[in-house]
Structure 1
Amino acid sequence: MVIDVDTLGNLRPISKVVFSLGSNVGDSLEILQSAINELATTPDLIPVDLSSVYLTAPVGDVRDQDDFYNLVFVAETTLEPLTLLERAEALESAFGRVREQPGGPRTLDIDLIMVGKRERADDRLVLPHPRAHERAFVLVPWLEADPLGELAGHGTLADLVAGLDTSGVTRIDERIDLP
Structure 2
Amino acid sequence: MTDRVCITGVQAQGVHGVLPEERTYSQPFIVDISAEVETPEAARTDSVGYTVSYADLAADAVEVVTGESVNLIETLADRIAAKALARGALSATVTVHKPEAPVGTAFQDASVQITRHSPVTDAEAGIRHAVLSLGANLGNTREALGRAVKAIGELDVHVDAVSDYFSTAPLLAPGQEPQPDYLNAVLTLDTALAPYELLAQLQRIEVRGGRVRHERWGARLIDIDIVDFDGIAWANERLMLPHPRAADRLFVLEPWLSIEPEATLGGHRIADIVGSLRSELHEG
Q: Same fold (TM over 0.5)?
A: yes
Q: 2:278 aligns with which of 153, 165, 169?
A: 165
Q: How does 1:1-179 map to 2 (within 5 A)?
A: 12-43=125-156, 45-61=157-173, 62=176, 64-153=178-267, 155-165=268-278
Higher helix share: 2
1 or 2 for the larger relative contact order (CA 8 Å, sep ≥6)? 1
How much does 1:60 deviate? Answer: 3.3
TM-score by length of 1: 0.83
* One-letter identity of the residue aligned with 1:115: F
How much does 1:51 deviate? Answer: 0.5
The verdict on how the C-alpha distance between 1:151 and 1:104 changes in structure 2, with shifts beyond 3 A counting, is same
* Mapped partners of 2:198, 2:143: distance in 1: 22
Q: Unmatched 5+ residue regions in structure 1?
A: 169-179
How much does 1:113 deviate? Answer: 0.5
Identity of aligned residues (%): 35
Give CA deviations for 1:91-120 in whole Å, capped at 9, x if unaligned.
Answer: 110011111210010000001111102121
How much does 1:16 deviate? Answer: 1.1
Which structure has the larger Rg over C-alpha atoms? Answer: 2
The verdict on how the C-alpha distance between 1:107 and 1:157 changes in structure 2, with shifts beyond 3 A counting, is same
- How many aligned residue pairs are there? 159
3-state secondary structure, aligned to 1:12? coil
Q: Unmatched 5+ residue regions in structure 2?
A: 1-118
3-state secondary structure, aligned to 2:262? coil
How much does 1:46 deviate? Answer: 0.7
How much does 1:12 deviate? Answer: 2.3
* Mapped partners of 1:39, 1:138: distance in 2: 18
